[in-house]
Amino acid sequence: MEANVKSKDYPERITNKDLHRAWFRWWFVNEIPHNYETMIAPSFLWAIMPILKKLYKKSEDLREAFRRHLLFFNTQCNWGGGTILGITISLEEERAKALAEGKKDEAITSEAINNTKVGLMGPLAGIGDAIDSGTVQYILIALALPWAQAGNPLGALVPWIAFVTITYLYGFYFTRLGYNLGRAAVAEIVSGSRIRSIIEALSVLGTFMMGILAASYVNVSTPLKWTISGKEFVLQEILDKILPGMLPLFVVMSIYLYFSRKGLKIIQVLLWLVVIFGVLGFLGIL
In this structure, the number of other CB atoms found within 10 A of the CB of residue 198 comes to 13
Tens digits of per-residue pLDDT, 14-30? Answer: 999 999 999 999 999 98
Tens digits of per-residue pLDDT, 58-114? Answer: 999 999 999 999 988 999 899 889 999 999 998 899 889 888 888 888 888 888 888
Strands 231-234 and 225-228, by their bridges, are antiparallel
Give first-to-last CA distance, the chain, whole Å: 87
Domain ranges (residues) in the chain = 2-212, 218-282
Amino acid at 183: R
Amino acid at 266: I
Q: pTM of the predicted model, to two decimals?
A: 0.66
